[in-house]
Amino acid sequence: MSHFFAPERYDTPEFTIRACQPGDGKLLHDALTTSADHLRPFLYWLTFDATLEEHEQLVRTYYSKYLAKTDFIHGVFAPDGTRLLGWTGFLLRGRTVEHGTGEIGMWISATEAGKGLGTRVLKQMLHWGFTAWPWQRIEWKCDTLNLASAAVARKAGMRLEGTFRQDHPMPDGTRCDTHYFAMLREEYRPDEE
């Protein structure tokens, strides 16, 4: 049995990354509602049409998974906690923490996207992941058509390991190709953050 206690909060002067918790449903609801057009092309499965109550239920489910160590979902909050700037997390994809591989997922709200925030959040997630979490390997996967996502991974210093063809079914019946990026613990350079 693992004795690892997952860290729940990481503060920077620009934003706070913390486990999403009961009470965060309204901020999630507002961000998804106002960012739907921006997020839908590549994250079509997000809960854009869910009610406020359903989003509150969702963040509670996320937090129960956090405590159970089956997935670690974080909000990216303004330092005063009043705004949700984006969403990130270490995803296990069915593996355990002891497996040592975490996959970072992310979205940045429409009002904050395109200003370098995604790159800065990813760099901080890599720093946090290799200093406070037991990851040996951190992954980032994106549709090859998602140029902003691939650019963020490259700018954060992750290596493109390969491209999986027709990797994922899309709602229109086509299949997307997926870039697999990763960084290993021994590749991480704190002075490059």
Chain residues binding ligand COA by CB under 6 A are: 38-39, 42-43, 106-108, 113-119, 142, 146-149, 151-152, 155
Q: Which is nearer to ligand COA, 22 or 165 (CB)?
A: 165
Least separation, in Å, of the C-beta of 67 and ligand COA?
A: 26
Residue type, 103: E
Least separation, in Å, of the C-beta of 98 and ligand COA?
A: 26
Burial track 126-142 (b if 16+ CB lie within 10 A, e otherwise): bbbbbeebebeebbbbb
Q: Which is nearer to ligand COA, 67 or 151 (CB)?
A: 151
Q: Output the CA–CA distances (angstroms, integers) from residue 109 to 8, 29, 75, 180, in the order listed.
A: 21, 12, 11, 23
Backbone angles phi, psi at 106, to 5 degrees: -165, 145
Give residue number: closest CB to ligand COA. Answer: 118
Q: Which is nearer to ligand COA, 38 or 185 (CB)?
A: 38
